[in-house]
Amino acid sequence: MQLTPVIAIHLSAALAALLIGPVALWARRGHAQRTPRTLRPRLHRAAGYAWVTLMLATALSALFIRDAALPNVGGYTPIHLLVPFTLIGLYLAFAHLRRGNLEGHRKAMLGLYLGACVTAGAFSLLPGRYLGQLVWGHWLGLI
């Protein structure tokens, strides 16, 4: 597999989401205030919307990335199961927010960050995956 425009978009969006996610989680409303009260909610909302946009870009671009080298069905590997997980999770997080269930929204977003960013990121670094080959092959080549 080689770096295509779709993989570049997917990788860029995923890495940006991995970095922005903690900002949105840290700046959430109701967190202990150490900065002016008006700054943290705006930061939470801006980082949150940016994170959601990046997660949508990551999930939707994943649909166009297929791998015949790994066990698959029509080119889709088990990691592609994170696409519906992400889309459903985002829907549920905003449904909680619409109902005023801030705790449900917080848990849904935290679960999405841990599941779709951290866990998926870890699986993408496995030696048989494209990103894993880039990272470990390069690192092992330096030894």
Read off the pTM: 0.82
Percent share of the chain, pLDDT over 70? 87
Q: What pLDDT does 124 receive?
A: 84
Task: Answer left, alpha or beta for residue 100, where phi above 0 means left and psi between -120 and 50 means alpha.
Answer: left
| Average predicted confidence (pLDDT) for the chain | 85
Q: How far apart are CA 111 and CA 57, in angstroms?
A: 18
pLDDT at residue 137 greater than cutoff 60: yes
Summarize pLDDT for 15-28 with one digit per residue, the tens: 999 999 999 998 87
Q: In the chain, what are the domain boundaries?
A: 5-142
Q: Alpha helices, DSSP H only, in the chain? A: 5-26, 39-62, 82-98, 102-112, 120-124, 130-142
Where is pLDDT greater, at 105 or 136? 105
